[in-house]
A and B are shown apart, each in its own frame.
Chain A
Amino acid sequence: MSHRPGRESVEDLERRKRISRSYLRSLPPLEKVKRLVQLQEQYYQLLAIREQNGGKPIPERWRKWRTARQEST
């Protein structure tokens, strides 16, 4: 039996999305950079897991990103 979200839950999701985005927008620039770094690391992990599980290989540009980060540490 399929479950379709009701109008109220969709509205609630949209409301929460607006609050979250508004919060992110209000952060100072350096905090946004910090969040971006976290986002990059999470995204790379997703790509790496996908590759490990036999999916598409990590794109070349993301490999370059990884190498650059490793060289800097």
Chain B
Amino acid sequence: MNTANFEKVISVLEEMKTGGIIEKFAIGGAFAATLHNEPISTIDLDIFFLLKEKPDSVLLSLEKVHDFARHRGFSFDHEFINIHGWLVQFVEASHDDLWKEAIELADIMKIGEFDVPVIGCEHLIAMWLLAGRAKDYQKIAVFWEADILDLQRLAGILERFGLSEKWEKEKWRLTDEP
């Protein structure tokens, strides 16, 4: 496995976009955290995406993506599509306003030959805060310690999505102080 395979994955995602399978996409999750900050062990590549036409149900939302995978000969199950050795998890985002905004306002990162949309640090924080699992708080803490956040931008996102109160309640986790 080398980084060329990763560039092939990006190429496939671009192909899905130009082919009208998906309208927009952005890398999220621990993989986005790796790109913004430092490598974190994760098995998959989370792709948050929007379809050209809003799906009637969450189940239907992956139908076109799976058809594409089948057509291209990529193996897949209910969780992942194996694209050139990377387990890619596609997450349709149209039913969630925070996810939608995270895609719309994604950072554009130069990765090899490609300009790749990557969900911004502050939106990642909001998404992890909302998910609220132990591993999500760990990622928030790592970002906090790295001092890479635009706090004004973060405050705006938390306010817009009703997460300010949860942030105030949970931010004690970010410090060693009792």
Residues of A participating in the B interface, judged by any CB pair closer than 8 Å: 21, 24-25, 29-30, 32-37, 39-41, 43, 61-62, 64-65, 67-69, 71-73
B146 with A72: CB separation less than 8 A: no
The answer for the CA separation of A30 and B110 in the assembled complex, in Å, is 9
The answer for the CA separation of A13 and B43 in the assembled complex, in Å, is 29
B110 with A69: CB separation less than 8 A: no
Number of B interface residues, CB 8 Å? Answer: 32
Q: Which residue of A lies closest to B35 (CB)?
A: A29
8 Å CB contact of A21 from B3, B87, B110, B146: B146
Residues of B participating in the A interface, judged by any CB pair closer than 8 Å: 1-3, 5-7, 31, 34-35, 37-44, 75, 77, 79-80, 82, 84-87, 109-112, 146, 148
A35 with B39: CB separation less than 8 A: yes
A68 with B87: CB separation less than 8 A: yes
Q: Which residue of A lies closest to B38 (CB)?
A: A24
Q: State the total of A-B contacts with C-beta under 8 angstroms.
A: 77
With a cutoff of 8 Å between Cβ atoms, the chain A residues found around residue B86 in the complex are 68
The answer for the CA separation of A36 and B3 in the assembled complex, in Å, is 10
B43 with A61: CB separation less than 8 A: yes
- A70 → chain B, closest Cβ, in Å? 8
With a cutoff of 8 Å between Cβ atoms, the chain A residues found around residue B37 in the complex are 24-25
Q: Which 4 A-B pairs have the closest CB atoms?
A: A72-B85, A24-B38, A65-B43, A68-B82
Q: Which residue of A lies closest to B6 (CB)?
A: A33
